[in-house]
Amino acid sequence: MAKKTSSPQSETSPEILMLGFLCIKGADSINEKVSILDRFGLADSDIAVVCNCAVQSVRNARQQNAKKPKD
């Protein structure tokens, strides 16, 4: 018999995720979205859910944001 694997449930409240979604509504790039959502202290998986992307894309965006020189 095959084992069923359940996806891990997020511990972040749905209200925070909805607020994050509303905050990134006008953002164009994944890098901009991740930099906005980082202010909420969300986990990579939560940001991926809000941005509708893969967790690795969130990690890549964080790395690219860290390389940018700050004005």
Model confidence pLDDT, tens digit, residues 9-45? 567 889 999 999 999 999 999 999 999 999 999 999 9
pLDDT for the residue numbered 11 = 72
pTM for the complete prediction?
A: 0.77
The token pair at 39 is 């202010």
pLDDT for the residue numbered 31 = 95
Supply the DSSP string of 6-48, one letter for each residue: PPPPP-S-HHHHHHHHHHTTT--SHHHHHHHHGGGT--HHHHH
User: What would the mean pLDDT of 44-55 be, rounded to a whole number?
Assistant: 95
pLDDT higher than 50, residue 6: no
The token pair at 71 is 């004005």
Residue 48 pLDDT grade (very low, low, confident, very high; cuts 50, 70, 90): very high
SS3 call for 53:
coil
